Amino acid sequence: MAGVDDGILFPANRLRDWTQEVFQKVGVSRDDALLLTDSLIEANLRGVDTHGITRMLCVYVERIQKGVMSAKTNLTVVREKPSTALIDCHNSIGQVGAARAMQMAIEKARQTGVAFTAAAHTNHYGATAYWAMMALPNGMIGFSSTNAPAVVAPTGGRTAMFGTNPICIAIPADKQLPVVLDLATTVVARGRINLYAKQNKPLEPGWAFDEHGAPTTDPHAALKGLLAPIGGYKGYGIMLAVDFLCGVLTGSNYGTHFPGFLADNMIDPTDVGSVFAAVNVESFMDLPEFTAAIDKAVREIKTSTRSAEVDRIYIPGEIEFEVKAHRLVHGIPIPAEVVKDFINLGRELALPFPQV
């Protein structure tokens, strides 16, 4: 889990209110600011701080201020059939295009059983789980994926060709928690490397390589080098498939065609592609029967024989649900270095960052 281990604790609602004001101050509409803020705060609450305000707020604001990402929403459905749609986002905020695309997938799946939609020419959309989980209250299985600037070389290569290219599948349950598999196709997301660099914390072995292709635990060297794919050549294959689905299929950027990373490129739009899907469980099985079966399968996994050194077997997404419950009570940790950035941003915008 890409979380912050320690920091100054802030109540979620206080961070939420201030973040929403910040986005509106730089030209984002109230409704879009609400959505954008919710996606980021939700990531922080779930412990995915790499995709929360901790890393993304100042980057998003700077990109909007410099005109690299449009604060104004402009979405056009350019291709549509009963179970599919392609939306041209015209460099709109990534979360806005993602919300529209996932909602269309859900609405279409009510009629067709399964629906697949895509957002083209868009931007970073935050945590992948936020979009896949939209399907859960509708009795559906949700899926989302997106591509990103290249940080991984193909197996046998030394040139960065693929991004962290995350995927998420969210599956509803009844009495058990939903199963939410949300992962980057690299061992860790690049955002986590950024957070470690911000705090001058060493990386775990096996996460990254330096610019010469040598394994490194130095986060600053890793940012100039490559990330390691999950599962070796299998991870390479998965990230390739994601890049082709999200980039090539939507007519957006892919591979080496990205102009740079979010925080490093303040000139050219990223031109990301993202895909979304919804599976209406009722098209295959009565929903209560399905969720009861998922509950049974989850219990079987969690009560299976554990290794001697393990106290508990987790289901994907379970840790994030527990972290959210904890942080709603105790607050979201923000590293001191990031708090300084927020204080400076607040001064710049005449919106003082809230004190603890």
Is residue 296 domain-resident?
Answer: no
What CATH number does the domain containing 114 carry?
3.30.1370.60
Give per-residue pLDDT as tens, 295-352: 999 999 999 999 999 999 999 999 999 999 999 999 999 999 999 999 999 999 999 9
98 and 176 both lie in a single domain:
yes
Neighbours of 234 (CB within 10 A): 12
CB 70 within 8 A of CB 27: no
Q: Are 112 and 255 part of one and the same domain?
A: yes
Do the domain assignments include residue 205?
A: yes
Report the alpha-carbon distance of residue 113 to residue 126 in Å, rounded.
Answer: 27
Q: How large a percentage of the chain has pLDDT more than 70?
A: 99
Q: Is 137 found in the same domain as 90?
A: yes
Domain boundary among 287, 309, 332: 287
- Does residue 31 share a domain with residue 100? no
pLDDT band at residue 99, thresholds of 50, 70 and 90?
A: very high
Pick the most confident of 26-35, 151-160, 221-230: 26-35
Residue 298 lies in a domain: no
Does the residue 70 lie in any domain?
no
168 pLDDT band, cuts 50/70/90, is: very high
Please check the confidence at residue 185 and state whether its pLDDT lies above 90: yes
Closest CA to 221 of 202, 234, 237, 248: 202
Q: Which residues have CB under 8 Å from 60's CB, separation 6+? A: 23, 36, 69, 93, 124
Instruction: Note whether 119 and 179 are same-domain residues.
Output: yes
What CA–CA distance (Å, rounded) separates 29 from 31? 6
202 shares a domain with 177: no
Task: Give yes or no: residues 106 and 237 share one domain.
Answer: yes
Please compute the mean of the pLDDT values over residues 266-280 and round it to a whole number. Answer: 97
Same domain for 169 and 257, yes or no, is: yes
Residues 268, 220 within the same domain: no
Q: What is the per-residue pLDDT for 196?
A: 87
Domain that residue 211 falls in: 197-228
Decide if 306 is inside a domain.
Answer: no
pLDDT of residue 115: 98
Given pLDDT bands bounded at 50, 70 and 90, which one contains residue 2?
Answer: low
More confident residue, 118 or 262: 118
Q: What is the pTM of this model?
A: 0.93
Question: Packing angle between helix 190-199 and helix 53-65, nearest 10 degrees?
Answer: 100
pLDDT band at 70 (very low <50, low <70, confident <90, very high): very high
Could you give phi then psi for residue 96, rounded to 5 degrees? Answer: -70, -45
3-state secondary structure of 311: coil
Task: Show the tokens assigned to 182.
Answer: 């949300």
In a domain, 302, yes or no: no
* The pLDDT of residue 194: 80
- pLDDT score of 301: 98
Q: What percent of the chain has pLDDT over 90?
A: 86
User: What's the domain count of the chain?
Assistant: 3
Indicate the Cα dihedral angle 319, 233, 193, 249, nearest 10°: -90
In a domain, 309, yes or no: no
Does the pLDDT value for residue 3 go beyond 70?
Answer: no
Residue 294 in any domain: the answer is no
222, 104: one domain: no
pLDDT averaged over every residue in the chain: 95
DSSP string spanning 185-217? Answer: SBSS-HHHHHHHHHHTPPPPTTSEE-TTS-EE-
CATH number of the domain at 340, please.
Answer: 1.10.1530.10
**Residue range 111-130, pLDDT digits in tens:** 999 999 999 999 999 999 99
Q: Is the pLDDT of residue 270 over 80?
A: yes
Q: Is the pLDDT of residue 5 over 90?
A: no
Q: Would you state the pLDDT for residue 1?
A: 44
Q: Are residues 209 and 164 in the same domain?
A: no
The residue among 151, 153, 180, 158 whose CA lies nearest residue 167 is 180
Q: Let me know whether 212 and 92 are in one domain.
A: no
